[in-house]
Amino acid sequence: MSEVLVVVEATDRGWHRTGLEAVGAGATAAASLKLPLTAACLTPRAEQWADNVPAGPERLLAAGCEWLGTYTADGYSAALHELVQQRRPRLVVLPHTYQVRDYAPRAATRSGAALISDIIELRTGDGGALTSVRQLFQGKLNAEIVLTGDG
């Protein structure tokens, strides 16, 4: 399935703020790529927060696995890997949180996919190629990374 998949985090108080920012970035990327946007939450409590997701995602997926109730990098990376294997999205957008920085590299390695962290901008260029921009050396330089291929 060709889509842009955004992974959000939920707490007992609602969606994590950075997850909402990721939904916005995912919506921009989905519009540029002319693909549907799907939001997924790796928590068994996602259903109770479904009404609070901002406009944009066409569907909300909730991983209701019992073992996701308590965070572990192995559990979350396995859940993300499985989600990516099932959905086969064109792009996965993750928020910038300590947990994501912990489990996302494991999931990317397991999936054989590229992971670019700390992106501050995502653009669609000629031919639909995605270019991500990330800062280096404490914001002194910007690196533009062109994503090619399916990974």
Single pTM value for the model: 0.86
- 32 pLDDT higher than 70: yes
- 151 pLDDT higher than 60: no
- 37 pLDDT higher than 90: yes
pLDDT in tens, 1-23: 589 999 887 766 767 778 778 88
Q: What is the 3-state secondary structure of 33-52?
A: HCCCEEEEECCCCHHHHHHH
Identify the pLDDT of residue 49.
61
Backbone dihedral region of 49: left (phi > 0), alpha (psi from -120 to 50 degrees) or beta?
alpha
Instruction: Count H helices and E strands in the chain, helices first.
Output: 3, 9
Identify the pLDDT of residue 111.
86
pLDDT in tens, 38-47: 988 887 665 6
Contacts of 50 (CB under 8 A, 6+ apart): 60, 62
pLDDT in tens, 83-142: 899 999 989 999 988 999 999 999 999 988 888 888 888 887 777 778 888 888 988 999
Identify the pLDDT of residue 48.
63
Identify the pLDDT of residue 149.
66
